[in-house]
A and B are shown apart, each in its own frame.
Chain A
């Protein structure tokens, strides 16, 4: 199946974006291979969320060309799953986890028709794949941050996307929950063969599953394999503070500020 599909999930060619006349980043030329797990890093305000909005078709590029899964970006692309930043901010205490996943499936449909058997199966599968089945009947306000994030990812998965875009999925999670979400992402990649792009500030929780990184440096968008990005000089330049790359006793890579 993958043989007939393009090998590239996301392709940028001389792309730049601007908001209200101000260029956010430019000279974006890179290709993210299918099956990658890519972190999007850069200082605050460097345009990480903006990149996701471009891929989702919510913001046009000012110059250059972008292709997502072989096509120009367009709103309503069911082949992309999306978890925005601060997912729970707009939810209030009125909605159950399962309802949200169902909305991800059928929320765009007009009229009163109910969900079909296919829809219910897709909702069940998405909840099971992120380990959220047991608490999906509870209101979001009663769930922990880690459980809420699982529901958010299940909602993004429910249309069986080929590309998953996650904006700060580990923010405000304790270390155990970060680890659990990273495990979920690793499983999605191996079992659903989904390409994953994650906006995050901290490389470390994700290092074990990352294959590459988009980094927004000095107003330009770059992409490289993770081995080349976990580099003291590059990360120090990127974050504007001295970063050291160390190896743990087990040989795992690891970045820290010096």
Chain B
């Protein structure tokens, strides 16, 4: 049992929660959960979860490079994720193309991150902090930057939310209607880069999915109403961050673990509870297949239907039926 010697309930956790570093952590976590929850709806609706994950990796050399040259980690992360966002946004139109392009850039970026870190040998903790997050080390300066990023995000999203939704779900129709689909896609990627820059510092590159994608995906399983998805997604994110910090204080373990665990459990339970709702119901209008009995076919489709084909295929059937009128 010595393995678990360091895992134990800490009676003074209420005091820990009142410490200054913990107050900063709570403020930072709340800001990031808010930003991630609001943008998360679009990440899921645009089917950009993979891009979110990739941007976090692309930020990795930004963070280790910043340590190497002695600038704030937030600045390094922002430069790399925004550049990566622009590259992904302008590259391949089709999602299939984008996955290859994104994955290739991702691998290269991660390699760079390792290089920068090995050059900056003096700070061995940097890699761990970037990969797994260190919410407890958030400084007041970072909080100011986070607040500014989130303010920009909210203002821009409030302006573009509807055209962005339209461009996300109906790109061809939106384009025909005059919506600037491509520009909105690039704007979305830049906003995503800002959120990733913040979220990496909370839960880290490797756990980022749990804070940026999972809460919104959970909310979408509950409801399809966009505003409600944003509210519920933000709520789950906030609960994960605050709950994670409290548990971290109670058990003296990294908050990242508890944050993603709360998000994960919420997601899993939600999927279990709502799974019946997402099963495709039998379609009352469906034409019965050949394997079904004629009794089941009888109730609908009284009108005669002619079958034909204009090309020379096996569908070459002509079956005129007597009209009922």
Residues of A participating in the B interface, judged by any CB pair closer than 8 Å:
56-58, 75-76, 78, 80, 82-84, 87, 90-96, 99-100, 103-104, 106-112, 139, 141-142, 144, 146-147, 155-156, 174-177, 179-180, 201-204, 235, 239, 241-243, 246, 248-250, 252, 254-257
Is A110 in contact with B163, judged by CB distance below 8 angstroms? yes
> Contacts A78-B177, A249-B320 given; 4 further ones with Cβ under 8 A?
A58-B175, A104-B173, A146-B285, A248-B306
- Contact A103:B322 (CB < 8 A) given known A80-B176, A94-B220, A252-B306: no
Say how far B227's CB is from chain A's closest CB, in angstroms: 10
Q: Is B1 an interface residue (CB 8 A)?
A: no
Question: What is the size, in residues, of chain B's interface with A at 8 Å between Cβ atoms?
Answer: 53
CB atoms of B172 and A109 under 8 A apart: no
Closest Cβ neighbor of B179 among chain A residues: A108
Q: How far is the CB of A150 from chain B (nearest CB, A)?
A: 10
Choice from B159, B167, B225, B310 contacting A201 with Cβ under 8 Å:
B310
Pair A242/B287 contact, Cβ less than 8 Å: no
The answer to whether A107 touches B166 (Cβ under 8 A) is yes
- B163 lies within 8 A of A107 (CB): yes
In the complex, the answer to whether B313 meets A257 with C-beta atoms within 8 Å is yes
Chain B hits for A141, CB < 8 A: 278, 280
| Contact yes or no, A96 B178, CB < 8 A | no
B44 proximity list for chain A (CB < 8 A): 92, 94
Q: Does B122 belong to the interface (CB within 8 Å)?
A: no
Residue of B nearest to A93 (CB): B278
Task: Verify A94–B224 contact, CB threshold 8 A.
Answer: yes
- A82 to B42 Cα, complex, angstroms: 24
How distant is the Cα of A78 from the Cα of B313 in the complex, in angstroms? 40
List 20 A–B pairs whose Cβ atoms lie within 8 Å, in order of A's numbering.
A58-B175, A87-B170, A90-B168, A92-B44, A94-B224, A96-B224, A96-B225, A99-B224, A103-B169, A106-B162, A107-B162, A109-B162, A110-B162, A111-B159, A147-B285, A177-B285, A241-B311, A242-B312, A256-B308, A256-B310
- Given the complex, which residues of B lie within 8 Å of A112, measured CB to CB? 158, 161
Given A111-B159, A176-B287, A82:B176 Cβ within 8 A: yes
Given A76-B177, A108-B174, A176-B305, A248-B320 contact (CB < 8 Å): yes
Residues in B with CB closer than 8 Å to A56 are 176
The interface residues of chain B, by DSSP majority, are classed as loop
Q: Give me the interface of B with A, judged by CB distance under 8 Å.
A: 44-45, 47, 158-163, 165-179, 220, 224-226, 229, 278, 280-281, 283, 285-287, 300-301, 303, 305-313, 316, 318, 320, 322-323
Q: Report the minimum CB–CB distance from A161 to chain B (whole Å).
A: 11
Least CB distance from A236 to B in Å reads 10
Q: How far does the alpha carbon of A147 sit from the alpha carbon of B283 in the complex, in Å?
A: 9
A-B pairs with lowest CB-CB distance, top 7 = A76-B178, A107-B166, A84-B172, A144-B283, A248-B320, A257-B312, A176-B287
**B169/A95 in contact, CB under 8 A:** yes
CB-based contact B310/A202 at 8 Å: yes
**A246–B310 Cα gap in the complex (Å)?**
12
Q: CA A139 – CA B310 in complex, angstroms?
A: 35
A56 to B316, CA, bound (A): 35
Given A94-B224, A255-B310, A257-B310: A174 and B287 within 8 A (CB)?
yes
Given A109-B163, A176-B287, verify A155-B170 contact (CB < 8 Å). yes
A75–B316 alpha-carbon span in the complex (Å): 41
* Known contacts A108-B166, A139-B224, A256-B316: A82-B173 contact under CB 8 Å: yes
CB distance from B230 to the nearest CB of A (A): 12
**Which residue from chain A places its CB closest to the CB of B174 in the assembled complex?**
A107
- Give Cα A202–Cα B162 distance, bound, in whole angstroms: 37
Contact of A107 with B179 in the complex, beta carbons under 8 Å: yes
The residues of B that contact A249 with a CB separation of less than 8 Å are 320, 322
Which residues of B are found within 8 Å of A239, using beta-carbon distances? 310-311
